[in-house]
Amino acid sequence: MKTKSIIITTLTLLFAAGITSCSKSDGEETTQNTKEKEDTPQFVDDKGEALTPAQEQAFGKSINDFTFNMFRTMAAQHPRQSLVSSPLSAATLLAMLNDGAWGQTREQLLQVLGFEGAKSRSVNEYFQKLMKETVTSGGTTKLTMANAMYVRQGYEFLSAYATDMSNYYGATAETLDFDDAKSVDYINSWCNKQSNGMIPQMVTQIPPATLSLLLNAIYFSGKWKTPFEKEQTGYGAFTQEDAKTSETEMMHLGTKDVLFRETQDYKALQMDYEAGDFAMTLLLPSDGKTTADIIGSVMGNDTWSALCASLTTPEPYIVITLPRFTIETGDEAMEDLTGTLKKMGAVAMFSPSADFPNILKEDNLAVSQLRQKAKLMVTEDGTEAAAITISGLDGSPMPGTPTYPTFKADHPFVYVISNSKTGVVYFIGQYHGE
């Protein structure tokens, strides 16, 4: 079985006349900035110096801080619900937005990302380096990242912005007739290709106010290093946090080819994929504890790093019981990330006074929505997942014996898919039963 996981992030840029940008904290700065934009439609940022080793290390820590912060926020908004997300995809989108933002809008974007004070060049170079160094296509594990950008016929990106998106994010600007249904097909074809057929349709129609579409795709496929035996899979009870039980397909495996740790609050299990440095880590709360307790105590960059460093090989082996499960976003409230990012501090970009002067030759752009649909499947062979994030910028409209350690995930747990070498987290979520 071919296993895979995908994240697609899409940004929609919308514009309409009549709304002005006034998010400057200083009147003189606002006047000067407006004059610059009126005189010459070009970047109002000096771009800064090249990425330094110290910045790269700091940015890497900040990205995981962002990941855990976003997941904690989402989990608090949707308690006792199964979740799947890729904050890294959202972070890439925010970095692309950052390149075109200014004033308070940019300050908040950098603050949410944890890149306070950074210039756009170093931010762009970090994501460029991240894409190149973590992307792999070796053996049975594959991770790719891709970006695209489209603009409505009759409009155009600022040349400096288009150059940055091409140089750093590999996104080539294309002009399309958004009123032609063939353009919808063309964009969906890109989504289908980048998701290996898992997400064949992203767009059903393009509203008249939409001026531009930016897309980011992350594709992951991986088979377990030690797969579960399909013959051992059978139904068992899964107990949810409200004490309700359901019959769930449970996979079973006895192995020492994993890493494990048990504390009084939880059990942690790390299962590697067959090739590369990718792994899934599962956190199973102890009796009397909940996933919220684990998220509150472990889901931070320092605590997460300490946990990963403390994992050891179980002796003589461990008996694993894990649901064969599928998670997908269930409703519009779960899809909407607008409230999540606002709670994290990115407020200005959603307001009419949002400041994005560096994207199109037209101004007065504001983020009107940011949603993510996602799906994740865990089977005997490995992991399969898919997600699409869309953001709009709008200017108007097996059983064991007691002698062996066990990891019996028959109640809600948290999971993380990450690169064990770089520490970058690609997927994160919680499972609360079907």
* Confidence tier at 250 by pLDDT (50, 70, 90): very high
Peptide bond before residue 200 is cis, with ω within 30 degrees of 0: no
Instruction: Quote the mean pLDDT of the chain.
Output: 81
Q: Is 104 helix (H, G, I), strand (E, B) or coil?
A: helix
Q: Is 317 helix (H, G, I), strand (E, B) or coil?
A: coil
Cβ neighbourhood burial of 53 (10 Å; 0-12, 13-18, 19+)? exposed
Which domains are present in the chain?
A: 5-24+52-223+327-393 (3.30.497.10), 230-323+400-431 (2.30.39.10)
Answer whether 0.75 is exceeded by the pTM. Answer: yes
From 27-31, 153-157, 386-390, the region with the lowest mean pLDDT: 27-31
Residues 341, 290 contacting (CB under 8 angstroms): no
Rounded percentage of the chain residues whose pLDDT exceeds 70: 81
Alpha helices in 40-150 (DSSP H): 53-77, 87-99, 103-113, 120-134
Whether residue 396 has pLDDT greater than 50:
no
Report pLDDT digits (tens) over 303-358: 999 999 999 999 888 999 999 888 777 677 877 888 999 999 999 988 888 888 88
Alpha carbon distance 60, 424 (integer Å): 7
